[in-house]
A and B are shown apart, each in its own frame.
Chain A
Amino acid sequence: MPEPRLIDGRDMEPPEPLERAMAELAAMAPGDELVMLLRCEALPLYSLLERNGFGYTATLRPDGTNEVRIKKA
């Protein structure tokens, strides 16, 4: 099982996390996983994922970080 790729977007200015996510998503193979750490709930990312057939779960950590785990089906 390969290690999931990680984008820590907590100290990035919008839309950098989204730009990086798009570059990663384009390179993902089926079964690959991408983890994003964000300070906001990224609704544009969710709609992008849904439109392109990616599955995801979003969890709010106690420190306020939004952890988004993305999988390519």
Chain B
Amino acid sequence: MQPTLSFEQAPPISVPYRFFLTAPLFGAVAGLILAVLGPDTLQSRWSSGALAMTHLIVVDFMLQAMCGSLLQFVAVVAGANIWRPRLVAHIVHPLITAGAIFLASAFLLEQPVLFLVAAAVFVSALGFFLTVMAIALVRTPARGMSIHVLRVAVFGLLVTVALGATLALTLGLGDHLQTDWSLIALINVHVAWGLGGWALMLVIGVSYLVVPMFQLTPSYPVWLTRALPAGLFLVLCLWSLQLFAPDATSQKWQTGVGLAGVAIAALYAVTTLWLQAKRRRRMSDPTFIYWRIAMLSLIAFAVSWVVFEALPQLGGNLRAPIWLGVLVIPGLFLSVITGMLYKIMPFLNWLHLQQQGGTPETQPNMKQMIPENAMRGQMRMHLAALVLLLAAVLWPALAIPAGLAFSASCLWLEWNLVGAARLYARYRDRIRAGLIGCAGSAGEK
């Protein structure tokens, strides 16, 4: 596979940055919710606190960061023309932010009307975003598996939003909405498409390019680049049959489909670790370590899933899904996102300063955009928060320190990202002032 970068298409820097700089703040709020509500939050995935926290993280942290990255990635890597990216960001970013606040409030306050408001906001925002992205991805002349996988991921987000809106309407309207679907099946399929069909599919598609490029590893085997997304998509379709043919999908059948899904996820994680071990340069920067934490979390998730299936007395515990959720959401996805933000923001700073007329003498290099010590410190805090969150699932009394640690890790990330954005603004102004100074001098001669 021949990766291609086309910076001519890069959208304005404010487009991805507004998403990136908002995302960690909501992670911090989610951590505070856990600290305030305490141990009861982790008793069950159905507690209002757990539902509010989860949606704040998956929507306002993960979705914000992923939408911002996708706007950048699709334009630069796929060379796709995104229709008025600044306008798209102006509309989508505040709506996603508001939608997640409505949704989290709906869970915490148990107010049905807020579910309806959240559904309306998400359908508007993400319907618009998905339309723009779908047109860009269909029209792009770029080829390669990454582009195909991104298309599938965008479809995965569409299914997630449609099912999420149906769930919100069900919770908002109660008995007034009649559907043939069971609530549990609806939730199972919504979660699978959100975490597997959207988030994991996007990570897989992006990793085909960024892991070899930034971590100097060999490329993913070609057969695997096709098999992973195809297998995952097939598993998601089979998993969704529980909505349409509940009688045909026995518990044993669902168990088999679930195991096939976690096997695919584990295969991807093991391959990525194997490629990392064969990297051409023995460097271990925070992005590299974050990817490693993410892949180990994904393997731990797969092993836990198998153990829970093998030992029903353990898997049947109400806290088992929370254990899986911690491994996959902060463990896998937030680790990948944070690791990539530590690469994307310095890269965008460098790129946009170049475009402003910067030179190696007038602008910092990529490694100077975010201090290495700050990134490593934040990474240790993230790891500590992850361990505390897992420990809190076993010993709920640890919920308060776990929530505070998670909040602190998100705030530290925010601090590092804001520092990078401020550095960009400072050097941009200096370069502009220098260019104006030169023009002024030339004019006086």
Contacts and interface: CB of A to CB of B under 8 A. Distances in A.
Q: Is B a genuine binding partner of A?
A: yes
The DSSP consensus for interface residues of chain A is: mixed
Contacts of B79: 43
B213 A66 contact: no
B412 interface: no
B274 interface: no
Contacts of B7: 43-44, 47
B139 interface: no
Interface residues of B, number: 22
Given A14-B214, A15-B350, A15-B351, A44 B360 contact: no
A47 B8 CA distance: 8
Contact of B365 (A11, A19, A42, A60): A19
Interface string B388-405: 000000000000000000
A64 interface: yes
Contacts of B351: 15, 44
B317 interface: no
Contact of B4 (A13, A15, A19, A43): A43
Contacts of A40: 2-5, 213
B214 A44 contact: no
Nearest to A23: B360
Contacts of B281: 11, 13
Given A14-B214, A14-B347, A66 B2 contact: yes
Contacts of A43: 4-8, 79
Contacts of B380: none
Interface string B185-229: 000000000000000000000000000111010000000000000
A16 B365 CA distance: 9
B41 to A, nearest CB: 41
Given A14-B213, A15-B350, A41 B3 contact: yes
B4 A11 contact: no
Interface in A14-73: 14-15, 19, 22-23, 39-44, 47, 60, 64, 66
A13 B216 contact: yes
Interface in B1-38: 2-8
Contact of B280 (A11, A22, A41): A11
A44 B366 contact: no
Contacts of B366: 15
A22 B357 CA distance: 12
A14 B8 CA distance: 16
A41 B77 CA distance: 11
Contacts of B3: 39-41
Contacts of A22: 359-360
Contacts of B360: 19, 22-23
A37 to B, nearest CB: 13
B347 A41 contact: no
A13 B366 CA distance: 10
16 contacts: A11-B280, A11-B281, A13-B214, A13-B283, A14-B214, A15-B347, A15-B351, A19-B365, A39-B213, A40-B4, A40-B5, A40-B213, A43-B4, A43-B79, A44-B6, A47-B8
Given A11-B216, A43-B6, A44-B7, 12 more contacts: A13-B283, A14-B213, A15-B351, A15-B366, A39-B213, A40-B2, A40-B5, A41-B3, A43-B4, A43-B79, A47-B7, A47-B8
